[in-house]
Amino acid sequence: MVGGVSDEPGLRDRKKAATRAALSHAAWSIMVEDGLAAVSPESVAERVGVSSRTFRNYFASREEAIIDGWSRRHHALADRVRERPPAEPLWDSLVRVLPEAALEIIGSRDDIALMIRVITESPTLLAHNLLALQRTSGLLAEVVAERTGERRLVPHVVAGAVLAALASAVTYWATHDTDEPLPDLLRQCLEHLRAGLPVGPPTP
């Protein structure tokens, strides 16, 4: 017992994670190449080299498979924030971590633009996306609670608002033809949340 109480995954779990990732990746690729309709348990399983029954053991639907990779990267956001020095004020952590992390998570602008386009015509895919966001929001709320000591309403409001900002910034950046880099857009949104949401006087 050289390794002590190490909880390394072990080959079995690593393989599971690998096929899961391979299935999700394949599902995404097929969607990019031939559209959402072409993604099926059969097509995905064939590309990975497993049976379609195995696909169903991992995912309940094509949408779940397509989202899964994204989902896992999303969830990493909370850990990123948690890794910041505990003495750092929360907003500083958020403003430091999110704008940079956002880019890595969503990948290229083309990817996210395609995703948004597909999502707008597939409520099911949108729903799975929202589920992933919701889970991330829960994880982020935990971190906020740890950092601030607040235990009740505030962490969820903060987490929800921050993810709304993230979603808004990403959507705008991907769908509008702007030169501003994503991190800058997101930083602006977060600063708004920190300082109080600006809403101009009513237009006369």
Partner DNA sequence: GCTGGAACTTTCCGGAATTGCAAATTTTCC
Partner DNA sequence: GGAAAATTTGCAATTCCGGAAAGTTCCAGC
The residues of the shown chain that bind its own copies, judged by CB under 8 A, are 86-91, 123, 126-128, 130-131, 134, 137, 144, 147-150, 152-154, 156-161, 163-165, 167-169, 171-172, 176, 185, 188-189, 192-203
Amino acid at residue number 91:
W
**Spatial contact of 139 and 71, defined as CB atoms under 8 Å apart:** no
Partner whose binding site includes residue 5, from its own copies, DNA, none (CB under 5 to 8 Å by kind): none
Q: How many residues interact with DNA (rule CB under 7 A)?
A: 19
Residue 54: name its binding partner from DNA, its own copies, none (Cβ under 5 to 8 Å by kind).
Answer: DNA
- Residue type for position 172: Y
Among 3, 10, 196, 204, binds DNA (CB under 7 A): 10
Query: In the bound complex, what is the minimum distance in angstroms from residue 31's beta carbon to its own copies?
Result: 19
Question: Least distance (Å) from its own copies to the CB of residue 129?
Answer: 9
- Kindly indicate which of the ranges 50-58, 71-79, 96-104, 134-142 contains the residues binding DNA, using the contact rule CB under 7 A: 50-58
d(CA 66, CA 111): 12
DSSP character string of 57-96: HH-SSHHHHHHHHHHHHHHHHHHHHHTS-TTS-HHHHHHH
Q: Where are the alpha helices (DSSP H) in the chain?
A: 10-34, 41-48, 52-58, 62-82, 90-106, 109-120, 123-148, 153-175, 182-195
The C-alpha atoms of residue 60 and residue 165 are separated, in whole angstroms, by 30
Distance CA 204, CA 101 (A): 40
Query: Contact region for DNA (CB under 7 A) — 56-64, 67-75, 107-115, 154-162?
Result: 56-64
Q: How far is the CB of 2 from its own copies (least distance, A)?
A: 37
Applying CB under 7 A, the residues found at the interface with DNA are 10-13, 15-16, 19, 40-41, 49-51, 53-54, 56-58, 60-61
